Amino acid sequence: MEASGTSNMKFALNGCLIIGTLDGANVEIREEIGEDNFFLFGATADEVPQLRKDRENGLFKPDPRFEEAKQYVRSGAFGSYDYNPLLDSLEGNSGYGRGDYFLVGHDFPSYMDAQARVDEAYKDRKRWLKMSIMSTAGSGKFSSDRTIAQYAKEIWNIEECRVP
């Protein structure tokens, strides 16, 4: 997952399909490439404040699959690294859910469902290819060529210089 969004723009320009939340640049990317070509999961920006309050008040119920994933990390399956800082960021020292500022636990079930949709789409090669092409075709707005042309006209007030 990408916090900045510029990487997701580059991914879309290159035909990659995005699985992501509806925040930041993903909002604009999804509008441009079409919602059928974007695998959405997670809370909306409008839901986040209330979800954080619920988490702080201990009202968040963990998904069993998320608990299982955390237990797998704890099991040492990924090596002997100290994963406590990571797990603390998801659970906090005051009990489950209180430290999960980014609502990973909340979004986990939705992510799992989205990943299942990715898997199904990938099995249908024609559909996957069409989605990939639509991703690229809809991403022209994010091209540096378009951006530079717009800046030249609207900000720098300069004429384009044609190369012979």
Domain limits of the chain?
6-154
pLDDT on residue 1:
46
Q: What is the pLDDT of residues 2-55, one digit of tens each?
A: 456 689 999 999 999 999 999 889 999 999 999 999 999 999 989 999 998 888
CATH superfamily of 6-154: Glycogen Phosphorylase B; (3.40.50.2000)
Q: For 80-106, what is each residue's pLDDT tens digit?
A: 999 988 888 888 655 555 678 889 999
Kindly tell me the sign of the dihedral angle through the C-alpha atoms of 77, 79, 84, 89.
negative
Instruction: Please give the pLDDT value at position 160.
Output: 81
User: Shortest CA distance to 103 belongs to which of 36, 54, 154?
Assistant: 54
φ/ψ (deg, to 5) at 50:
-70, -40
Q: Give CA–CA dist 145/20, Å, rounded.
A: 26
